């Protein structure tokens, strides 16, 4: 059952805008106690915060994102000035998740929210099952010199999570590039054209999970989707900052009833070991009318914009200091000293063997 929709408090120009406040009927169901009830209350407060911010700050947040330049959200730390930080011209955000989680639709929604839907094709190369075949770079701000880009990836197969996690670790270590073929697509031999595109270091990861599938997993007892998502959330290579969990976006919650939607979010976050509000967002890809939520649902539009902003904050906090000439010389010197010590150790071992052989020969003569 789809989540309910009611008229918003403020109408837009040219007609009343509809906004989805699916959580408000749940406010009346109070009186329960315990940790589960406190978790529900925290989620309700978070949703009300997003709704209030959408009415007051959505346009300001859009403007901040549209005028963003890499490093704008950096703040001083460690006594190193900004000019000594290795800040790329374009920040890269990587979307990962299981197959069918809604990563490509989330990218489309980002274009809608930032007003770029009419400028770019929103479809990506996909196989017969609708799964993305290769990494797709989406430069939302349409600038090669500054801003940010979002990489859409192929959904991971939960029956082959080992291979999927290994590929994710490879992306985090070696970087990603536009049109880079993903494993399991049969396009690995066609990677030559992709090598012409710029390889970018991943600055932030957003995990996309299908809340409807997690709800079914909780009801059926089939822990497969939950365990696969848990492995992905706690995969060490994707943690840009070891003290923070990756950003988690829950999609397809609008296909559940409000009570199911709330219960699935609370229980899924508890199972995944992440807070149910901090860095977790419930984002439907379309509203009840099958249209983009940009005009119909300001709360979801604000949530999408805040997801992008949070990712950029994480990215700007992950920049490393530039390698100075002195550091490089010390590194080369240390390598040379290691090689020299290894050479002397080899000579010492050879001389010891020769000396031992010489003594044994003299003893045999005597």
Taking only the tens place, the pLDDT of each residue in 249-288 is 999 998 899 999 999 999 999 999 999 999 999 998 664 4
Whether residue 279 sits in one domain with residue 204: yes
Whether residue 118 sits in one domain with residue 52: yes
| CATH (domain of 128) | 3.40.50.300
- pTM of this structure: 0.80
Mean pLDDT of 15-32: 65
106 falls within a domain: yes
Percent of the chain with pLDDT over 90: 37
37 falls within a domain: no
Which range is least confidently modeled, 60-69, 71-80, 109-118?
109-118
Q: What is the rounded average pLDDT for all residues in the chain?
A: 81
Q: Are 281 and 248 in contact (CB under 8 A)?
A: yes
DSSP lists the bridge partners of residue 86 as 320
Mean pLDDT of 51-68: 91
Whether residue 317 sits in one domain with residue 328: no
Q: Are strands 280-282 and 148-152 parallel, antiparallel or unpaired?
A: unpaired
Between residues 61 and 361, the one the model is more confident about: 61
Whether residue 133 sits in one domain with residue 233: yes
Residues in CB range of 192: below 8 A, 6 or more apart: none
Whether residue 359 sits in one domain with residue 243: no
290 falls within a domain: yes
Whether residue 289 sits in one domain with residue 234: yes
- Looking at mean pLDDT, say which of 3-12, 78-87, 105-114, 309-318 comes out highest: 309-318
User: Considering only CA atoms, which of 140, 136, 174 is closest in space to residue 154?
Assistant: 136
**Can you give the pLDDT at residue 1?**
43
Range of the domain at 115: 44-75+83-321
22 falls within a domain: no
186 falls within a domain: yes
Whether residue 349 sits in one domain with residue 284: no
Whether residue 138 sits in one domain with residue 284: yes
**Can you give the pLDDT at residue 8?**
41
15 falls within a domain: no
Whether residue 57 sits in one domain with residue 202: yes
**Can you give the pLDDT at residue 243?**
66
Instruction: Check residue 89 and give left, alpha or beta (phi > 0: left; psi -120 to 50: alpha).
Output: alpha
31 falls within a domain: no
Whether residue 211 sits in one domain with residue 286: yes
Mean pLDDT of 109-135: 64
Whether residue 356 sits in one domain with residue 226: no
Whether residue 97 sits in one domain with residue 179: yes
8 falls within a domain: no
The structural domain count of the chain equals 2
**Can you give the pLDDT at residue 10?**
42
DSSP lists the bridge partners of residue 176 as 200
User: Considering only CA atoms, which of 246, 218, 314, 227 is closest in space to residue 96?
Assistant: 246
Q: Is pLDDT of 121 > 50?
A: no
């Amino acid at each position: 059952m789809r989540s309910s929709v009611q008229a918003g408090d403020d109408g837009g120009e040219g007609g009343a805008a509809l906004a989805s406040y699916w959580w408000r009927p749940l406010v009346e169901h109070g009186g329960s106690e315990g940790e589960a009830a406190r978790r529900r209350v925290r989620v309700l407060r978070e949703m009300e915060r997003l709704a209030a911010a959408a009415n007051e700050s959505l346009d300001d947040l859009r403007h901040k994102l549209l005028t963003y330049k890499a490093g704008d959200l950096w703040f001083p730390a460690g006594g190193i000035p900004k000019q000594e930080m290795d800040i790329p011209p374009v920040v890269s955000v990587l979307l990962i998740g299981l197959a069918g989680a809604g990563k490509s639709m989330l990218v489309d929604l980002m274009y809608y929210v930032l007003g770029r839907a009419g400028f770019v094709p929103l479809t990506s190369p996909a196989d017969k099952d609708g799964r993305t075949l290769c990494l797709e770079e989406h430069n939302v701000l349409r600038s090669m010199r500054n801003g940010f880009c979002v990489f859409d990836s192929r959904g991971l197969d939960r029956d082959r999570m080992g291979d999927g996690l290994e590929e994710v670790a490879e992306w985090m270590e070696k970087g990603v590039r536009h049109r880079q073929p993903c494993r399991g697509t049969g396009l690995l031999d066609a990677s030559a054209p992709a090598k012409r595109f710029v390889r970018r270091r991943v600055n932030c990861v957003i995990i996309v999970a299908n809340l409807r599938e997690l709800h079914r997993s909780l009801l059926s007892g089939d822990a497969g989707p939950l365990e696969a998502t848990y492995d992905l959330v706690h995969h060490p290579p994707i943690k840009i900052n070891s003290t923070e969990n990756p950003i988690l976006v829950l999609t397809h919650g609008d296909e559940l009833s409000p009570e199911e939607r709330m219960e699935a979010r609370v229980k899924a976050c508890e199972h995944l070991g992440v807070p149910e509000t901090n860095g977790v967002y419930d984002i439907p890809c379309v509203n009840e009318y099958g249209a983009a939520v940009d005009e119909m649902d300001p709360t979801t539009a604000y949530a999408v914009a805040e997801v992008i902003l949070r990712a950029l904050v994480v990215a700007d906090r992950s920049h490393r200091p530039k390698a100075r000439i002195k550091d490089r010389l010390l590194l080369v010197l240390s390598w040379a000293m290691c090689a020299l010590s290894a050479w002397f150790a080899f000579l010492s071992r050879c001389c010891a063997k020769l000396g031992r052989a010489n003594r044994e020969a003299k003893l045999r003569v005597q």
